[in-house]
Amino acid sequence: MLTGIQHLHGTLRWVVLVLLILSIVKAFTGMSSGRSFGDGDRKRGLFTMISLHLQLVLGFFLYFGKGWAGKLGDPNTMANAVQRFFSLEHMVTMLLAVVLGTLGHSLAKRAADDKSKFRRQAIWFTVALLLILSSIPWPFREGFEAYGWW
């Protein structure tokens, strides 16, 4: 069960990345072209946010299910780069990214005019993407060879 969840979480990363990049490109081009913010733009932002929420739920299943939560603060865990990464760094940074990514959708929804809607998506989704890129256990990183591309 946890193995399946981990595969799903590992694969969904690509959905998150593609949707975020697409939303960011569309938001910046929308902003500069001055076109109106359509239902497609709102839905793209919504799906981006939903993909982040799904990662959040799956991530917490793994975090508690695989015992990472119990290792938080343990000196031996903190001394090991990979263990510290999953018990602390990945969880905190991704949590922040999900919160900021959610703002990208909900603040855009509340903005008064179309340009502000695009601008809010552009800013918050970009910050979320940078945080996510910094905290993915990319298999090429030293010590993370066991984590695959899927």
- The residues that touch ligand HEM, with contacts defined as CB under 6 A, are 6, 9-10, 13, 16, 46, 50, 52-57, 59-60, 62-63, 66, 68, 86, 90-91, 94-95, 97-98, 102, 106, 132, 136-137, 147-148
Report the SS3 class of residue 52: helix
Of 90 and 119, which CB lies nearer to ligand HEM in the complex structure?
90
* Min separation Cβ 32 and ligand HEM, Å: 25
Count of C-beta atoms within a 10 Å radius of residue 7: 13
Q: How far apart are CA 103 and CA 61, in angstroms?
A: 23
Spatial CB neighbours of 62, under 8 Å, sequence gap ≥ 6: 2, 5, 6, 9, 68
Of 127 and 137, which CB lies nearer to ligand HEM in the complex structure?
137
Of 24 and 52, which CB lies nearer to ligand HEM in the complex structure?
52
